[in-house]
Amino acid sequence: MSDTDTLFRCTVCGGPEIARSTMRGDGVRVLFCAGCGMGVVEHRPADTAHFYTDDYYHRAEGSAHGYIDYEFTAEHGLLWTRVLIERLLPAGGAVLDIGCATGFLLSRLGPAYRRAGIEANPAAARIAAEAGIDVLGADVLAPGLAAAHRGAYEIITSIATYEHVLDIRAAIAASLEMLAPSGVLVLEVPVISPTRSNADWYGSSFEHIFYPTERGLRSLFASFPGVYFTGTETAATGFSSTYIGLATRDPARFAELGDLLAAMTADDPTSLAEDDARLNLAYRVVHEFRPTPARIIRLPLLLERYYSPSLGKRLMQLWHGDASRAALAEQPWRRAPSRGTLVRLPLLLGRAIGRTLLSRLRRLRAA
């Protein structure tokens, strides 16, 4: 038995046994609890501030920490979250975003929303504050922060954040403390999938401390009395899995969350009501990168309300792949539209989307 086995104590369930371990690309071991399945680095750092310097949201190529293009990642990574918030709080309300970065998500909510954030990166926090976001602090685990805002928020979002904290159970406990009685916690974390490649999580993002599994997350939320939890693994094309989770203390709200999750993850949006279809498209097409003919035909519903140049860039990536495959299948000697051509397509879409793209998609839908 190693020293690690002797000293191990799971943060989530308190279990003392390690089921297995995996070596990350940087040589750090990730240990998985035998009791609940949650993963954590072998030696948690005393502090994480050195990870979140001013270049974190615009890192250089080849760096193992942070984002190359945060705004683009946020556009396709957070659109489903925005649509879900607007479904849950159509008349507005109090929203807290843990790990708010520059306020990308919050700034896209209308004036009916009272917007607050928590952000570790000082430069990003200043930008968020300048955009009118009430930045509560740098760390959800800061002493007294949760108590000072107990029950204050109708929705709390934590997208790609909990894996970075020093204590995942304490971070979720603080989040639940700040929820209003019928409030909803919306989270997304990397998940170690039993069926898909986890190479992205073991080979990069070395600032991550926790490596959740679905069993670990369900065990974690089950440890909070009176909290209902549901979720789904997100199998984004070309990328390792994440897990989207929804939690609330309100049984009626939980039933609503079940309906929204079913609409969001439905295979075929054809029969969905328009608001449900928008949520489905934001998740299935933009976030998961999985267009189908049925989804593309309904895409105008999403674009009419949420189009942006970054969203056009995301769709360009989809079209480039489809156009290349179609050209090779039809005439192997024909060249597909070049990536350089399609990379600049958002310049056209920004001006002509109302006239050209939407009208064509509407014709497809009517056919």
* SS3 per-residue string spanning 13-81: CCCCCEEEEEECCCCCEEEEECCCCCEEECCCCCCCHHHCCCCHHHCCCCCCCCCCCHHHHHHHHHHHH
Q: At 311, is the pLDDT very low, low, confident or very high (cuts 50, 70, 90)?
A: confident
**Sequence-separated (6 or more) residues with CB below 8 Å from residue 300:** 358, 361, 362, 365
Beta strand 228-234 with 93-98 is unpaired
pLDDT at 46: 86
Q: CA-to-CA distance for 184 and 291, rounded, in angstroms?
A: 29
Phi/psi at 9 (5° precision)? -145, 115
pLDDT at 66: 44
Domains assigned to the chain: 49-265 (3.40.50.150), 290-366 (no CATH)
Report whether pLDDT(366) > 60: no
Which of 35-39, 73-77, 173-177, 218-222 shows the lowest per-residue confidence on average (mean pLDDT)? 73-77
CB atoms within 10 A of CB 57: 22
Predicted TM-score of the model (pTM):
0.85
Q: CA-to-CA distance for 99 and 81, rounded, in angstroms?
A: 14
DSSP calls for 313-345: HHHHHHHHHHHHHHHHHH-TTSPPPPHHHHHTH
Report whether pLDDT(196) > 70: yes
Report whether pLDDT(232) > 80: yes
The tokens of 72 are what?
Answer: 């683009």
> Average of pLDDT values for 282-310?
92
CA neighbor of 148 nearest in space, from 177, 118, 105: 177
Q: CA-to-CA distance for 22 and 41, rounded, in angstroms?
A: 9
The tokens of 251 are what?
Answer: 């049984």
Q: At 189, is the pLDDT very low, low, confident or very high (cuts 50, 70, 90)?
A: very high
> Average of pLDDT values for 91-97?
98
DSSP calls for 261-321: HHHHH-S--TTS-HHHHHHHHIIIIIIS----HHHHHHHHHHHHHH--HHHHHHHHHHHHH
pLDDT at 67: 45
Residue type, 56: Y
Q: At 108, is the pLDDT very low, low, confident or very high (cuts 50, 70, 90)?
A: very high
pLDDT at 354: 44
Which of the two residues, 194 and 355, has the higher pLDDT score? Answer: 194
Residue type, 361: L
Residue type, 278: R
Which of the two residues, 86 and 60, has the higher pLDDT score? Answer: 86
The tokens of 90 are what?
Answer: 């159509």
**Residue 166: alpha-carbon gap to chain centroid:** 19
Report whether pLDDT(310) > 90: no
Q: Which secondary-structure segment (H or E) carries 354? A: none
Q: At 64, is the pLDDT very low, low, confident or very high (cuts 50, 70, 90)?
A: very low
Q: CA-to-CA distance for 164 and 166, rounded, in angstroms?
A: 7
Q: At 1, is the pLDDT very low, low, confident or very high (cuts 50, 70, 90)?
A: very low
